[in-house]
Amino acid sequence: VVNFKIKGLSAQVFPNPANNLVQISYYLPQNGDINLAIYDLSGKKLQLLQQEPKNTGNYVFLWQANSLPTGIYLVGLTQNGQQMYTKLIISK
């Protein structure tokens, strides 16, 4: 499990490395619009997972990563100007 926390915004990715199904758990310290996306290591957005308003609290997002080949990716979470990234390894 990889866990990063920045100013209350936090996320966990499990399992890591993952083969197909990835659980992204995150905590939002305040209300606001969020963006949850997958990026390659150069910063290119590969897939937008969620873009919507959310209230303060804990959330779980299940994602099928079968469209991505083996490699290292970043899961990015943005809310109210705060951004955080956590590394995700896909191993097929």
> For the segment 32-88, what is each residue's pLDDT rounded down to a tens digit?
999 999 999 999 999 999 999 999 999 999 999 988 999 999 999 999 888 899 999
Q: What is the structure's pLDDT at 3?
A: 52
Q: What is the structure's pLDDT at 89?
A: 96
Contact 39, 77 (CB under 8 A): no
pLDDT band at 7 (very low <50, low <70, confident <90, very high): low
* Whole-number Å distance between alpha carbons of 49 and 44: 14
Q: What is the structure's pLDDT at 92?
A: 84
